[in-house]
Structure 1
Amino acid sequence: MYGPRDLQVYVRNSSHQIVGQLDDFTQVQLVMRYNAVSNWTMDISATERNVALLAPGSNPNGGLIFELYGTTLLSGPIHTFAYAMGADGTRKLTLAGPDDTQYLANALVWPDPAHAIDSQATAYYTVTNSASYTETLMKNLVNLNLGPGAITERRKGGLTVETSSNRGKTGQSFKYRFEPVLDALTEIARGAPIGTPPGYLGFRIRQKDASAGIEFQVYATTNRLDTATFSEGRNNLISYSYQVQAPTASYAILGAGRETVDGSESAAVVAKELFGYTRVDTQPVFPGYRVESFVDVGEVDPTATDAQAQLDEKGQDALYTGATSVTVSMDPQDTPQLTFAKDYFLGDQVTVVVPYEGVIQEQVREVELTFNASSGLTTEITVGTEATTSHKTSGATKRLNTLADMIKRLNTRK
């Protein structure tokens, strides 16, 4: 169980060196997301020392590191710096930013990362029936597109890539062309379920412990279904809500390759070959509910030797993201036996007992920690499937993001 002062906040400079520690904040909020960009905000008094450490003018491209008992929860750059003076003369700073995983969203997967954009030698970044493990493929992709192995103009200063521990599976095949690195990593990780029941590899960028610099890391999620159980009967739920939503895709029609059809640019019309994929929903709350969806995978050559492996990856990815959505939002009560960051973490599989639905066993997708100097720590946790709509994202926003993603794929997969 934690209090507000159990959180350590350090300030770093543009070279990722620690230049100070902050212990007089009034509130810190961390929104940690699994395999996605996290965010942080902080309110702190505008003392001369704090302004000198945090203002862009005195610490350009600086950032913050948030640790809990020596474990780095997240780190990231300062993207918002705001100053305010109240009518009573109090002066306050409000700071905000993403975590370092943002750099994965900022970079695209170039077809040929070894050459400048006007000297691309291939149409796609391609992996074919790889003998390397999933973790190694993920780290290679990051290394070549923004890590030490990237061309100079694309290299993120101070970023290193953790040595691979060969987790995941071999035999994966995929192609990318200007998708965000973050999206590619998410798709690759989905293609290599680990454990029973299956979880997935997690990834992030964060400040390296005990040294300057940031590091791309891959970690294995943990099955804690038997050890991390939340229920009213265990008195470890202050409040909670849940919802289930019908699947948006249970049968995927994949259109692969391209052929010329006069007057048409529709992916469904010009697809050279069509393939069908179905999925047995792991959430039996909408039995037999069929939703057909067309998926453009025009970058897959149906005649390629690894075409089946690529199609399997794309088909299962479409059905995974379109599966029944199960969401539990809860405010848990920390206990000596069950405390976040000690006994479970982002991506771990946990059990939540709820009325009417019974038992929900899914991954921890989002954790919001609020450290308030006067009222202590509050925690909100979202457990559910990947199709879960975060309580931080409105349905309208999610639909706009989905539409933007569809347009992006049409523009990049030529």
Structure 2
Amino acid sequence: MTSTALRVYVRNPTLERIGQIDDYTSLTVIPRYNAIGSFVLEISADSGKTNLLAEGNGLIIRTADGTLVDSGPIRTVDWSRSTGDSGAGKLTVAGLSDTEILARYTCWPAPDSDIGSQADAVYKVSAVVAETAMRTLVNVNAGPGALAARKNALLTLAADGTRGPTITRQLNQFDSLLTILQDIANAAGLGFRVVQAGGALQLQVYEPTDRSGTARFAFDFGNLTDANYSTTPPTCTRAVVVAGGQTSPRVCATYDRADPLFPGLTVEQFVDLTGVDTAAADLTAQMDQAAEEALTSGAGRGTLAISPIDIPNLQYGRDYQVGDTVSAKVRDSWLIDVVREVTLSCTASGGTTVKAAVGSSDGDGVVDRIYKYLAQVKKDVGRLKTRKAA
């Protein structure tokens, strides 16, 4: 194994470290911002370490200097052999990041009551700081504060840093816990993940770090091998929010957000708040919050994929992480946005390569910066054509 190769450790179902895999042939790990990451490891079936790689165990993956890349459970162990293979063939081990634990649970309208007592149709978050709301949702639905039958004994919560804005929203009964956390975090500008910390799986909420002044990538810096960007149009530029209508009078409102690349495009999306009591004092706040999330989720997308090269003064894991804001030079302009995911590919003999996806796959509250940049380019080209025609 080279000095720059990723370190892989195996844990058992109770999170105890039981060994190291130092003879794998290849490893690809993809940590993702506010989403479930993944990993795939290949190893010779002749290895004496294959007995460690069983479903139910998990992997802890670190950089050469010990920085945690990701951790998570093994989901599949597949064996294969072809006529060209020597020995007993190979094992392909695949798994997910520990953040997947959040996808196993739903948000109960009355999380402190058993399933036979779920009389309410909604769970309400009222004027609470975003991080506190996220921690509470995890705590009462899956964490230490959940019902005994729902509590995950391995799941803990990092200390509450009271990060993010104050939010007010109403959750429909049995909404996905992971999806709700993504909606809140992306609208609040926060990051979250679940990783192994000691002998527990810990929910961590954090404010992403702006490293755009120090983590800068460009071909003329010698730390970039390729780059490309792509865009997709918006799916929502007008949120049609409808509250009440069941047990209280209906209230309807529209919220518009023009798309910079398609300024004349109107795409309406229905936002269902019909379970909300329109006599509630915080009705406006709930409607505003729901519209903000719909417009953010439905904003036009721009994504930049870059292949950085680790150099002595700028290395992944040490100088920037998933969720950090970095700078990349595309043509003649500097683009600044969030590292949405990173693909780390490693062979035991060849070291580690990094490919980063930069750009707001979930929007940045208005529309991501790359998308804005391309809209400006389109305007500039339009002006140039107009001048030539004149």
Show the counterpart of 1:109: 107
In structure 2, relative to structure 1, the CA distance for the partners of 1:216 and 1:46 (3 Å cut) is: same
Q: Which residue, out of 228, 252, 257, partners 1:274?
A: 252
Contact 1:229 / 1:351 at 8 angstroms: preserved in 2? yes
SS of the residue aligned with 1:165? coil
> For the residues of structure 2 that align with 1:136 and 1:63, how far apart are their CA atoms?
29
- What's the CA shift for 1:319? 0.8
Is 1:201 paired with 2:190? Answer: yes
The 3-state SS of whatever aligns with 1:172 is strand
Within the alignment, does 1:22 sit opposite 2:21 as a pair?
Answer: yes
Find the counterpart in structure 2 of residue 349 from structure 1. 325
Structure 1, residues 109-155: CA drift from partner, whole Å, max 9, x if none? Answer: 1111112211224322211123xx22121111111111111112212
What is the distance in 1 between the residues matched to 2:293 and 2:99? 22
Q: Secondary structure at the match of 2:28?
A: strand
- After TM superposition, give the deviation of residue 4 of structure 1 in Å: 6.7
Write the mapping of 1:7-406 to structure 2, written as runs, cut at 5 A: 7-47=6-46, 49-56=48-55, 61-68=56-63, 69-87=65-83, 88-130=86-128, 133-192=129-188, 200-208=189-197, 211-259=198-246, 272-279=250-257, 281=259, 284-355=260-331, 358-387=333-362
The percent of aligned pairs where both chains have the same amino acid is 39
Report the Cα distance in structure 1 between the residues aligned to 2:282 and 2:132, rounded to whole angstroms.
19
Are residues 299 and 351 of structure 1, via their aligned partners in 2, closer, same or farther at CA, if it must alter by over 3 Å?
Answer: farther
Alignment RMSD:
2.3
Distance 1:71 1:121, change over 3 A: farther
Deviations 1:264-284 (A, max 9, x none): xxxxxx992211112255xx4
Q: Contact conserved, 2:123 with 2:171, CA < 8 A, in 1?
A: yes
Deviates further, 43-52 or 341-350: 43-52
In the TM superposition, what is the alpha-carbon distance from 1:90 to its structure 2 partner? 3.8
Q: Which amino acid aligns with 1:239?
A: D
1:189 alignment partner, SS class: helix
TM-score (norm. length: structure 1) = 0.81
Change (3 A) 1:176 1:100: same
Q: C-alpha separation between the residues in 2 aligned to 1:273 and 1:330?
A: 46
CA gap 1:372/1:48 in 2 versus in 1, 3 angstroms: closer
CA distance 1:3–1:274, change in 2 (3 Å): farther
* CA deviations over 1:227-275 (Å, ceiling 9, x no partner): 2222223222201111223322222111222349xxxxxxxxx992211
Q: What SS does the aligned partner of 1:341 have?
A: coil
CA–CA distance in 2 between the matches of 1:161 and 1:109? 17
Equivalent position amino acid for 1:319 in 2: L
| The 10-residue stretch of structure 1 (370-379 or 180-189) with the greater mean CA deviation from structure 2 | 370-379
Matched residue, 1:265: none
Distance, in Å, in 2 between the alignment partners of 1:49 and 1:340 is 31
**Paired positions, count:** 360
Question: Which secondary structure does the structure 1 equivalent of 2:219 belong to?
Answer: coil
Q: Give per-residue Cα distances to partners, 1:314-366, cap 9 Å, x unaligned.
A: 1011111122211111111222232211111111122222137x332221111
Aligned partners of 2:119 and 2:147: how far apart in 1? 15
Q: In 2, are the aligned partners of 1:28 and 1:41 still within 8 Å (CA)?
A: yes
* Displacement after TM superposition at 1:43 (Å): 0.7
Structure 1, unaligned stretches of length 5 or more? 193-199, 261-269, 389-414
After TM superposition, the runs of 4+ consecutive aligned structure 1 residues lying more than 6 A away are none
**Deviation string, structure 1 residues 294-316 (Cα, Å, up to 9, x no partner):** 22232333221111111111101
Contact 1:62–1:77, Cα closer than 8 Å, also in 2: yes
* Whole-Å separation in 2 of the counterparts to 1:360 and 1:100: 31
- For 2:274 and 2:96, the matched residues in 1 are separated by 33
Moved more, 168-177 or 145-154: 168-177
3-state SS of paired residue (2:168):
coil
